[in-house]
Amino acid sequence: AELKPIEGLSGAVPGPRPSADSCVSPAGKAQEALQERYRGGSLVGCGGFGWGWAGRAVYPPAPLGLQVAVKRVPQNSIQHWGELVSDAPLEIVLLDKVSSGCAGIIQLLAWTEFPNSFLLVLEHPEPSQDLQHFIRARGFLSKQVARELFRQVLEAVQHCTSCRVLHRDIKPEIILLDLATGQLKLIDFGCRILSYSPPVWIHHQCYHSTAATIWSLGLLLYQLVMGKHPFRTGQEIIWGVILFPQWLSQECQDIIKSCLSMQPLDTPSLEDLFCRPWMQGVHLP
């Protein structure tokens, strides 16, 4: 199982893994290839499942000295497959489509296959912290910090959309913050179910992907400025009651309310969110 640098996309569709005639090379060769190229250190979390360790690249294809994380994805946890250089988890295919051309998306540098799992080599800036822990450590974020971070997320989502990839579950735990530069990166494209379903899913067991993405952005902005989730139960989502403190500006409240609209057709577009008054004059790293 050789290390496969990302070179090009041949297609991507959800579904079961296609049948393969060729057998997987011994895992020891893949492990040896990884050890030759990357020198590791501490265990890190790299998404919603599996494990990963942080290290530095010591051999191409990654630039020498680049800080990386190697993420393990068990094959029995993969529900969607696509086509790249060979059969691969859809997460790899989607990352290939979006991880170049935007600083707000984690870069997939290489990947390899073991008999029972895949390993993904990703960039991993240090020092860094996922946004969930960053918010918890501060309770909530100031207007300026929240605006800067939210603007970065919007730009990352816009890039994904331009690549015809919709990330329907934007949330603090899958956003990595480079503490040295202030740069955010989306890190997980595992295509799992929504963490907090929009009202239309609760009522009708269906949803529009674009509206679901906007819904998750509204949840994220609320957590940035309030330090907590706006809803505790599915019933609260159905009621649609969102509480705001008096000190939170009406402009920020309006963005959150529009993103968390009960009617999918009433949700704003990404372009509309960029143009809101609260989003103007934002400084980016």
Q: Which residue in the block uniquely carries the two structure tokens 């997320």?
A: 153
Angle 54-59-65 from CA coordinates, rounded to 5°: 50
Token readout for 201 is 């899913």
| The pLDDT value given to residue 31 | 54
Give the long-range contacts of residues 133-137, CB within 8 A, separation 24 or more.
134/172, 134/177, 135/172, 135/223, 135/224, 135/227, 136/227
Q: Do 198 and 183 share a structural domain?
A: yes
| The pLDDT value given to residue 49 | 41
Q: Do 265 and 146 share a structural domain?
A: yes
225 lies in a domain? yes
Q: Do 244 and 153 share a structural domain?
A: yes
User: Residues for the chain: how many in total?
Assistant: 285
- State which H helix or E strand residue 108 sits in: strand 108-113
Strand order in the sheet with 38-44: 4-5, 108-113, 117-123, 67-74, 51-57, 38-44
Number of domains composing the chain: 2
Q: Do 230 and 96 share a structural domain?
A: no
Distances in Å between the Cα of 40 and the Cα atoms of 68, 69, 125, 272 are 9, 8, 14, 43
Last residue of a domain, one of 95, 123, 151: 123
162 lies in a domain? yes
| The pLDDT value given to residue 32 | 57
3-class DSSP assignment, residue 91 = helix
159 lies in a domain? yes
Q: Do 209 and 82 share a structural domain?
A: no
| The pLDDT value given to residue 279 | 96
Q: b/e per residue, 107-127, with b = 16+ CB within 10 A?
A: bbbbbbbbeebbbbbbbbbee
We report the CATH number of the domain holding residue 234 as: 1.10.510.10
Does the annotation flag 130 for ligand binding? yes
Does the annotation flag 71 for ligand binding? yes
Segment-wise mean pLDDT, segments of 10 residues, the chain, 285 residues: 40 37 42 58 47 54 66 68 58 86 89 79 88 95 96 96 86 94 89 58 58 91 95 73 92 96 87 96 87
The pTM is what? Answer: 0.79
For the purposes of burial, counting CB atoms within 10 Å of the CB of 157, is it exposed (0-12), middle (13-18) or buried (19 or more)?
buried
Q: Do 113 and 76 share a structural domain?
A: yes
Q: Do 61 and 139 share a structural domain?
A: no
Dihedral sign, Cα of residue 73, residue 75, residue 78, residue 80: positive
Q: Do 134 and 242 share a structural domain?
A: yes
> Is 76 in contact with 118 (CB distance < 8 Å)?
no
199 lies in a domain? yes
Q: Do 26 and 73 share a structural domain?
A: yes
Last residue of a domain, one of 123, 146, 170: 123
Distances in Å between the Cα of 254 and the Cα atoms of 216, 258, 260, 276, 277 are 15, 6, 10, 9, 10
| The pLDDT value given to residue 202 | 52
92 lies in a domain? yes
Q: Do 225 and 166 share a structural domain?
A: yes
284 lies in a domain? no
Residues annotated catalytic, as ranges: 169
| The pLDDT value given to residue 272 | 97
Q: Do 181 and 64 share a structural domain?
A: no
We report the CATH number of the domain holding residue 64 as: 3.30.200.20
| The pLDDT value given to residue 231 | 86
94 lies in a domain? yes
Range of 179's domain?
128-279
3-class DSSP assignment, residue 82 = strand
Last residue of a domain, one of 123, 138, 154: 123
Q: Do 261 and 162 share a structural domain?
A: yes
| The pLDDT value given to residue 41 | 53
70 lies in a domain? yes
